[in-house]
Structure 1
């Protein structure tokens, strides 16, 4: 796995994938707490407002919303929110708003206020992107909009064909299509001149540092040293240490520790593996060694992280 692949691990499994059919006036306040959402327009248009950024999207556009706080999606900037979507994905009317069509289910994976609505949106929500992709997501602005000429918008056609089918394995099909759209959108944005990708992202293209990063990302369980990473990159220890620090911003062993702990954090949150198994899989000789590194770098123990994550998962919406 690498941090880009980490966006999709676990992939969009169990993600909230929905088609919205809407007739104006309509406005929805999204307060589901999800850190990453894709919004695409099939027909009509939509106005997005995160509080600090706004955009109007039309057919073929895809918006990436990296905003865990409330944001609004509406037919226009002038329409006040009529309903709120909470963490449980339940639609609740906003008190005091009258004279609007009720919103609710309209069939398989469909929702809105009019089955023949002039606007059709596709929404896909990732509730728990991987810890290893944290720096990548942090490089994205709250709202990214890609127009048809900037990305492979043909992917939307596949989702449109699949979203109202009820064939075996359909949820998995939609999850994978959503993954393709997300990874394409993120890559496209990071290639823009105005983007500020994390330093490791651009360092991957360097023949020396890229080889060392590939080794760390794919095999965190190896007993890496600066010397063995230099051998992987076919250069001297001094050359690797100097170039790695210059391009990535931290020394190789510091980056290795951060990567191992991120991988461990994902395993703690997403599996029932024992601390001994996790320690071995991310390159620590014992659970004690992993715990010591966790407390030193992150300020909490692995067990505390796992317990806190379990408590959050069980909390009522």
Structure 2
């Protein structure tokens, strides 16, 4: 399995908050829901996305934007339109005067807004409530705002989502989740493969004839008792050569990368209801529950048990990136 497939196997929508919003200009929403990542696309009309940390971008119909939390942002018909509604945690919506309009502005199945006649602005949005820890390695590398234009190939999928979002049939939530995943993966894949897009080093490294095979071994066999020497032997290079090249291309030494990968896998597995710390430890390459707990607490600042109970990413894991806004070529 290639590096991207391994990483994208994690962030699957599970009951994502998916909504069609309909507005008559002027309109402006401030999003403060602190969601890990949201997908936004316009079906009709244009909209400006104004992140708190990043340059504004104009979205046209069919453009797909990924917005990485927890930073807040504004979506409006025009940059100068004053904010009218603030969307907070759990998707509660209040006017700037404090009036709760979450229910009063509902327009039917997964529809919300101020214009029942389908005004000039129709927006689709999907919010991932809690991406898996495997996906978090990818999400932490994302810019605050990433946009793939419609003419890059997404417009048909946007239309399918627009048609499906208002249906209330058996399994409809699952259908919408998978459509959202396809939009997300398409944008991520375009970003990672675009030249000079700011994609992380570990993705580019998979094409390297030495580091690429090493990454695949670490991803596919995390429970193996790897050392730099055994990994170097498996890919046919010297220990020093692998360590130097891996660190140069990936940005961290092989064993540090392996530790991070194992703990990301462990965090994902800990969310399974029947998993124990001991069984998770064995599956990701630790000798027992104590060894995993010590590593988990050292790197993530909390025990596996605490992590499982909290159901949230540890505070020590921060989202950092040098690229704040990336717009792929139109």
1:227 is displaced (CA, Å) by 4.1
Cα deviation digits, residues 12-31 of structure 1 (max 9, x gap): 11111111111112111111
Distance 2:308 2:202 in 1: 28
Distance 1:81 1:299 in 2: 38
Distance 2:286 2:141 in 1: 29
Is the CA contact (8 Å cut-off) linking 2:28 and 2:76 kept in structure 1?
yes
1:283 is displaced (CA, Å) by 0.9
Is the CA contact (8 Å cut-off) linking 1:103 and 1:113 kept in structure 2?
no
Residue of 72, 89, 92 corresponding to 1:90: 92
Distance 2:272 2:35 in 1: 17
Is the CA contact (8 Å cut-off) linking 2:68 and 2:144 kept in structure 1?
yes
Distance 1:40 1:270, change over 3 A: farther
1:154 is displaced (CA, Å) by 2.1
Is the CA contact (8 Å cut-off) linking 2:11 and 2:135 kept in structure 1?
no
Distance 1:85 1:4, change over 3 A: farther
Query: Secondary structure of 2:211's partner?
Result: helix
Matching residue of 1:209? 211
Matching residue of 1:41? 42
Query: Secondary structure of 2:210's partner?
Result: helix
Distance 1:154 1:273, change over 3 A: same
1:57 is displaced (CA, Å) by 0.7
Distance 1:9 1:242 in 2: 29
Which deviates the most, 299-308 or 141-150?
Answer: 299-308
Query: Secondary structure of 2:170's partner?
Result: coil
Where does 1:128-277 land on structure 2 (aligned, <5 Å)? 128-269=130-271, 271-277=273-279
Runs of 4+ in 1 over 4 A off after TM superposition: 1-5, 269-272
Cα deviation digits, residues 85-119 of structure 1 (max 9, x gap): 2212122222089xx9x961111111111122111
Query: Secondary structure of 1:64's partner?
Result: strand
Which deviates the most, 13-22 or 144-153?
Answer: 144-153
- List alignment gaps of at least 5 residues for structure 2: 315-330
How many residues align structurally? 309
Distance 1:223 1:153 in 2: 46
Query: Secondary structure of 1:88's partner?
Result: helix
Q: Which has the higher contact order (CA 8 A, sep 6+)?
A: 2
Distance 1:204 1:254 in 2: 17
Which deviates the most, 284-293 or 83-92?
Answer: 83-92
- List alignment gaps of at least 5 residues for structure 1: 313-317
Aligned-pair RMSD on alpha carbons? 2.6
Query: With structure 1 as the length reference, what TM-score do the two structures score?
Result: 0.88
Is the CA contact (8 Å cut-off) linking 1:223 and 1:283 kept in structure 2?
yes
Distance 2:6 2:127 in 1: 17
Distance 1:179 1:83 in 2: 27
Which deviates the most, 12-21 or 183-192?
Answer: 183-192
Which deviates the most, 26-35 or 233-242?
Answer: 233-242
Is the CA contact (8 Å cut-off) linking 1:135 and 1:198 kept in structure 2?
no
Distance 1:250 1:10 in 2: 23
Is the CA contact (8 Å cut-off) linking 2:7 and 2:138 kept in structure 1?
no
Distance 1:264 1:139, change over 3 A: same
Cα deviation digits, residues 166-209 of structure 1 (max 9, x gap): 22211111111111111111121233334222221111111221
Distance 1:147 1:10, change over 3 A: closer
Matching residue of 2:320? none
Is the CA contact (8 Å cut-off) linking 2:10 and 2:135 kept in structure 1?
no
Distance 2:73 2:272 in 1: 28
Matching residue of 1:76? 78
